Amino acid sequence: MQTKPFRIGTRGSPLALAQAHETRDRLMAAHALPQEMFEIVVMSTAGDRITDRALSEIGGKGLFTQELEDKLLSGDLDFAVHSSKDMPTRLPEGLVLSAYLPREDVRDAFIGRMAQTLMELPRGAVIGSSSLRRQALIRSLRPDIEVITYRGLVDTRLRKLAEGQVDATLLAYAGLRRLNKAEVVTELLDPERFPPAPAQGAICIESRTDNSVVNDLLAAINDAETFAAVTCERAFLGALDGSCRTPIAGLARAEGGHITFSGMILSPDGKQSHRVSGEGPAGKAEAIGAMAGERVRAAAGTAFFENWS
């Protein structure tokens, strides 16, 4: 029986800490364990420290995970809690995404200072976003407004918006809900028209493949439908070599042992896009996502991807 606390690795942002606390609380309830059996270990990652440039310019998604993964592999952490959409599609050897918490709302939230909705923004308005997917989707819907790169913690972005540095911004509704800030939202964007990032709204837990004690502990809080849906979306991303350099959207829904998937790739300027869909047994989620990625890659042709790097 485990006698020392399980060490939970997390980034130090308010959202990351909220996710780590939710994970700890679910484990306490599932196993009737006291809070003293869990130690939350806060770590700074390169992605947290470098906030003045787009992620695509400084190395992509791994910037939010490498320090935590190094500590997992060394045994200094028992498991780590992440926003699933921050995870690279390829994990270091010896690590696995062992559990997903029940998924939150997947939609993007529009927060406007001078207009309540994206389509009501006046011509020439400035909207800030750090996501190439959001930037491309905005440009496809509103080519008449200016889109700028806009990074930082949620509170930082909201402060910059209030100060007038931009006229609007977009954030994941799931994160705002977890931070109890849903009231700032002026419009929730339809996921059919404005599809989310693969794995958006899902919290994942990463652990060592050889740590059976921890993996058994985590199995009790794994949500099977979220696991299947995000596995499908990550496979789609992986088939496209997806990273922070690529505007890719994808959403899978698993219910009753069946999974449906829709995906989209865009050119960074939003002028070109390709959609794809797939469905089948939830047990084949990974294959369904990967096949959708291969199909949309073939449909788009090699020229479509030339300006993605």
Same-domain check for residues 211 and 295: no
End-to-end CA distance of the chain: 49
Closest CA to 39 of 71, 8, 79: 8
Active site annotation includes 86:
yes
The answer to the question of residue 196 being in a domain is: no
The answer to the question of residue 23 being in a domain is: yes
| pLDDT per residue as tens, the chain (309 positions) | 677 999 999 999 999 999 999 999 999 999 999 999 999 999 876 555 555 555 544 455 556 688 899 999 999 999 999 999 989 899 999 999 999 999 999 999 999 999 999 999 999 999 999 899 999 999 999 999 999 998 788 999 999 999 999 999 999 999 999 999 999 999 999 999 999 999 999 999 999 999 999 999 999 999 999 999 999 999 999 998 754 467 999 999 999 999 999 999 999 999 999 999 999 999 999 999 999 999 999 999 888 877 655
**Rounded distance, CA 81 to CA 125, Å?**
37
Residue 9's alpha-carbon distances to 4, 19, 68, 118, 234, in angstroms, are 15, 11, 6, 37, 22
Same-domain check for residues 217 and 228: no
The identity of residue 299, as a single letter, is A
Active-site choice (78, 86, 108, 223):
86
Same-domain check for residues 165 and 243: no
The answer to the question of residue 68 being in a domain is: yes
CATH code of the domain covering residue 170: 3.40.190.10
The answer to the question of residue 82 being in a domain is: yes
> Which residue range is the domain that position 181 belongs to?
108-188
Same-domain check for residues 77 and 13: yes
As to burial, measured by CB atoms within 10 angstroms (0-12 exposed, 13-18 middle, 19+ buried), residue 29 is exposed
Same-domain check for residues 214 and 78: yes
The answer to the question of residue 129 being in a domain is: yes
Same-domain check for residues 60 and 138: no
- Count of structural domains, the chain: 3
The answer to the question of residue 195 being in a domain is: no
Q: What is the pLDDT of residue 150?
A: 86
pTM of the model: 0.91
Same-domain check for residues 72 and 2: yes
Same-domain check for residues 270 and 143: no
Q: What is the pLDDT of residue 58?
A: 46
